[in-house]
């Protein structure tokens, strides 16, 4: 039987999206040798459609052997998931682009709990998502379980980070969470990016917070529209110790992912330059040589980015 949080998330997961998004997801599945459990759509294009934007998909496979690509791709995914690639698709004469991440159900599950040292999954999937393609009912139930775990873990950490802010609206706890998770990763987005995730969805985040806290076993108090978290000294000490470890390895892990992407992400340099320009306004203006040889040109590109960022301040 579904609990209250899961019931809320079911409604969210099956909320209709644009036909082009579903068609793109079906196209991705068609190109795979083995059907995945499902395809999840999330990110900025879900929050606000943009004809010039890039769709974000996560494909959840049954096993690591089902990850697309050859032996090297599967090996890379085994040691440092997810694998990411760029895809294009035309629907009714309109061209669409997407960043597609792939990982197995086991890898997804291992990264959704509060003890996980990897914030990238639960920090993303505590946000609104849509299940745009699913293999069967069992797969749908499993993905729902994973998404609910992501929300629960994120809410737990929001309580940890927001415990010292006193009695505040629910959004203050989520704001504290996203400030920390963005800070623990190597991100190109401008500061304050986390606040934009709440805009227009304040009611949603307010509704799910107490439901997720209950699931996480976190003690809290509510007075009107304000919340406060009650933490024991032992809870605080353990959480602080674990978060220090997450921050210590978070940036290193993401640097390794960027290096891996240079080898495995087709057209990765073009995508990264687009993302930097979209979030910071800095145009790296890649030459054809830099697009084809991103590793060789990496020092020059880093210097160009730093100079441009300094000049823009």
**pLDDT at residue 14, rounded to an integer:** 98
Q: Are residues 75 and 107 in the same domain?
A: yes
Q: Are residues 219 and 72 in the same domain?
A: yes
**pLDDT at residue 248, rounded to an integer:** 80
Quick check: 69 pLDDT over 70?
yes
**pLDDT at residue 240, rounded to an integer:** 87
Max avg pLDDT among 6-10, 71-75, 109-113 = 6-10
Quick check: 188 pLDDT over 60?
no
- Segments forming the whole domain that contains residue 276: 268-312
Q: Are residues 152 and 288 in the same domain?
A: no
| Beta-ladder partners of 134 | 38
Average pLDDT of every residue of the chain: 88
> Which of 14-28, 56-70, 109-123, 192-206 comes out lowest in average pLDDT?
192-206
**pLDDT: which is higher, 172 or 251:** 172
DSSP assignment string, 132-196: EEES-HHHHHHHHHHHHHHHHHHHHHHHHHHGGG-SB-HHHHHHHHHHHHHHHS---SPTTHHHH
Q: Are the C-beta atoms of residues 60 and 104 closer than 8 Å to each other? A: yes
* pLDDT tens digits for range 91-126: 999 999 999 999 999 999 999 988 888 898 999 999
User: What's the whole-model pTM score?
Assistant: 0.85
What's the CATH code of the domain at 89? 3.30.460.10
**Distance from the Cα of residue 273 to its chain's centroid:** 19
- φ, ψ of residue 85 in degrees (nearest 5): -145, 160
Q: Are residues 217 and 305 in the same domain?
A: no
Q: Are residues 94 and 64 in the same domain?
A: yes
pLDDT above 70 coverage of the chain, percent: 92
Number of domains in the chain: 2
- Tell me the C-alpha to C-alpha distance, in Å, between residue 250 and each of 242, 243, 254: 12, 10, 6
**pLDDT: which is higher, 184 or 227:** 227
Residues present in the chain in total: 313
Quick check: 292 pLDDT over 60?
yes
Instruction: State which H helix or E strand residue 103 sits in.
Output: strand 94-104
**pLDDT: which is higher, 240 or 143:** 143
């Amino acid at each position: 039987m579904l609990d209250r949080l899961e019931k809320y998330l079911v409604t969210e997961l099956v909320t209709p999206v644009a036909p082009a998004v579903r068609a793109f997801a079906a196209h991705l599945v068609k190109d795979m040798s083995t059907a995945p459990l499902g395809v999840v759509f999330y990110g900025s294009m879900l929050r606000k459609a943009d004809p010039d934007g890039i769709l974000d998909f996560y494909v959840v496979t049954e096993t690591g052997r089902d990850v697309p690509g050859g032996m090297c791709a599967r090996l890379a995914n085994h040691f440092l998931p997810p694998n990411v690639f760029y895809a294009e698709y035309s629907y009714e004469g309109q061209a669409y682009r997407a960043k597609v991440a792939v990982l197995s159900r086991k890898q997804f599950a291992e990264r959704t709990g509060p003890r996980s040292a990897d914030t990238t999954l639960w920090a993303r999937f505590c946000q609104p998502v849509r299940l745009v393609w699913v293999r069967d009912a069992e797969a749908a139930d499993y993905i729902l379980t994973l998404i609910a775990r992501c929300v629960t873990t994120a809410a737990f950490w929001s309580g940890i980070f927001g415990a010292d802010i006193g009695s505040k609206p629910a959004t203050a706890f989520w704001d504290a969470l996203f400030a920390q998770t963005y800070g623990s990763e190597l991100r190109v987005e401008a500061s304050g990016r986390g606040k934009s995730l709440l805009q227009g969805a304040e009611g949603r985040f307010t509704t799910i917070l107490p439901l997720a806290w209950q699931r996480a076993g976190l003690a809290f108090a509510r007075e009107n529209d304000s919340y406060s978290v009650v933490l024991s000294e032992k809870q605080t000490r353990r959480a602080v110790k674990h978060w220090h470890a997450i921050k210590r390895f978070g940036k290193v892990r993401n640097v390794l992912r960027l290096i891996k992407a240079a080898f495995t992400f087709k057209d990765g340099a073009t995508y990264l330059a687009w993302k930097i320009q979209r979030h910071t306004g800095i145009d790296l203006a890649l030459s054809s040589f830099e697009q084809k040889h991103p590793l060789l040109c990496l020092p020059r590109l880093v210097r160009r980015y730093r100079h441009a960022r300094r000049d823009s301040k």
